[in-house]
Amino acid sequence: MKNVACALTIAGTDPSGGAGIHADLKTFQELKTYGMSVITSIVSQNTTGVQAVSHVSLEMIEQQLDSIISDMPIHAFKTGMIANQDMMKLIYNKIKHLDAPYVMDPVMVATSGDTLIERDSRNYLRKNLLPLTTIVTPNIPETEYLIGEKVETDEDMKQAAEMLVKNFGAKAALVKGGHREGDAVDFLYDGSRIHSFSAPRINTNNTHGTGCTYAAAITANLSQGLPLNIAVKQAKHYVTLAIKYSLDLGAGSGPTNHWAPRIHTNNLTTTEVE
């Protein structure tokens, strides 16, 4: 079977399985996409927070990238945690030649509030990596960090999405509203117009890895050739189900459920039979 969508994630680990490359690969698999990964950092984390971080050597990151790029098809790729400027420079030089959609999840702060990126890396990310992206997917704290301004209202979110495209060079920007009150509303600016994606807020603390999962779903959808707005729409549906059927594991913010669509479908089937 040769005609299979292939997606690459470049990110850090999560031994508890809820975020990072673990969430990405689970999402790829669930969305019928062959997943590949390059590990940038070994992160000791769980549902309660980040306990320690050890960065993979630049040589090993380069070797991982070369192993995949030289041998495997890449139909879309995403980056997550890229902790410092040296990593960013290396990854930039490797991915700038790839002819595939690039989804940037600018992982800077974990759900627990722990910082995951060195502060002096922001300018390099904005100047060099953002212009390569097909879409960047920051939450509100990450958006504020990227643009250097407060984001509090729907209008702020829309303006921030436009700013990430017009001022920083991203082809599209999805500013996610999960940190706000009320319905979870996200705004996508695709370079010409604003699209909104809304879902009812789900009353749960189990949101570990939602950003990774959302971006990975967009990546999987793009790898299959879907148009950007459809890729985002379907990813929004996927992550909403993953939160709805989230897993009550661990002592902190539990993980989302990457096989949630199967549970949802089974529930619908059972209801119809009854």
Query: Catalytic one among 13, 40, 210, 219?
Result: 210
Active site residue 210: yes
To which residue do tokens 């945690």 refer? 81
Q: Quote the CA–CA distance of 148 and 166 in Å, as a whole number.
A: 15
Q: How far is CA 172 from the centre of its chain?
A: 14
**Could you give the CA distance from residue 175 to residue 163 in angstroms, rounded to a whole number?**
11
158 vs 166: CA distance, rounded Å: 12
Q: Specify whether the CB–CB gap between 61 and 12 falls below 8 A.
A: no
Rg (CA), the chain: 18
Q: Which residue has the tokens 């967009």?
A: 218
User: Does the annotation mark 9 as catalytic?
Assistant: no
The backbone region for 148, taken as left when phi is positive above 0, alpha when psi lies in -120 to 50, beta otherwise, is: left
Longest dimension (CA), the chain: 59
Cα separation, 26 vs 33, in Å, equals: 10
- 184 CB-near residues (< 8 Å, 6+ apart): 176, 177, 178, 198, 199, 200, 201, 240
Residue tagged active-site, from 26, 78, 171, 176: 176
Instruction: Considering the candidates 27, 79, 207, 219, report the single residue annotated as catalytic.
Output: 207
Catalytic residue at 211?
Answer: yes
Q: Which of 177, 209, 219, 256 is catalytic?
A: 209
Question: Annotated catalytic, 6?
Answer: no
Catalytic residue among 18, 211, 240, 254: 211
Which of 212, 213, 236, 256 is flagged as catalytic? Answer: 212
Hey, which residues are catalytic here?
Answer: 176, 207, 209-212
